[in-house]
Amino acid sequence: MLKNDFEPNIVAFLCNWCSYAGADLAGTSRIEYPPNVKIIRVMCSGRVNPMFVVNALQQGADGVLIGGCHPGDCHYVQGNYFARRRIAVLKKLLEYLGIDERRVRMTWVSAAEGKKFADVIKEVTEDVRKLGPMQQIRRTNTW
């Protein structure tokens, strides 16, 4: 397959209170964004276990996006701060192992930022499209 034909698979873990509502707003406002993103709703970005990210990369995702509320706006007051620390460490670790850190992205999108959500998805999709398919830790056996 030529690299140009490659359509990336992006898994987005979006928090229920901000980013998911932001994605909803992007939809209701009819803002166009790439259809490559598969959204998984979580109650808070602090819920995102790094194992989710690694597992997504194993099972077919070429990139993972984690969306949370802006710092200080978290519905659970501090969940996104914890998530930020975790993902910062995880990105460094993946880079060290030879997995491009741009495959794991994090963003703050509030419920009012439908346009920003669409822009973020566009940016992540284009980045991952350039990187090509995830090969390193992709699961090959089907059981």
Partner 1 sequence: MVDQKKLRDEAKKIITREDVKYLVGWEKGTYGFQMTPLFVTSSDDVERLVFNPLCIHNLAVFPMLEEKLPLRKGAHEDTRKIGVVVKGCDSRAIVQIIQEKGLEKENLILIGVPCNGVIDPKKINKRFFHQTKTDDIEEDDKNFIIKTDGKTHKIPKDELIMDKCKTCEFPNPVIYDIFVGEKIKTSSKPDYKEINSFEKKKLDEKWSYWESQFEKCIRCYACRDVCPLCYCKECMVDQLNPQWVRRSVNVSENAAWNIMRAFHLAGRCIGCGECERVCPAGIPLTKLNKKLEKDVLELFEYKPGIKAEDKPLLSIFKPDDPEEFIL
Report in angstroms how near the CB of residue 50 gets to partner 1 at its nearest: 5
Which residues from 27-86 bind partner 1, rule CB under 8 A? 50-51, 54-55, 58, 71-72, 78, 81-82, 84-86
Q: Which of 23, 37, 48, 105 binds partner 1 (CB under 8 A)?
A: 105
The DSSP string of 41-99 is EES-GGG--HHHHHHHHHTT-SEEEEEEPPTT--TTSSHHHHHHHHHHHHHHHHHHHT-
Decide whether 41 or 139 has the Cβ nearer to partner 1.
139
Range in contact with partner 1 (rule: CB under 8 A) among 1-9, 18-26, 30-38, 130-138: 130-138
Size of the site for partner 1 (CB under 8 A): 42
Of 40, 38, 36, nearest in space to 7 by CA: 36
- List C-alpha distances in Å: 142 to 63, 64, 97, 138: 20, 21, 24, 11
Helix 50-58, helix 79-97: angle, nearest 10: 40
66, 105 Cβ separation under 8 angstroms:
yes
Of 28 and 141, which CB lies nearer to partner 1 in the complex structure? 141
10 is a contact residue toward partner 1 (CB under 8 A): no
* 15 near partner 1, rule: CB under 8 A: no
**Region binding partner 1 by CB under 8 A among candidate stretches 6-14, 19-27, 29-37, 119-127:** 119-127
Q: Give the burial class of 66: count Cβ atoms within 10 A of its Cβ; 0-12 exposed, 13-18 middle, 19 or more buried.
A: buried
Q: How far is the CB of 55 from partner 1 (least distance, A)?
A: 6
Which of 6, 16, 123, 133 touches partner 1 (CB under 8 A)? 123
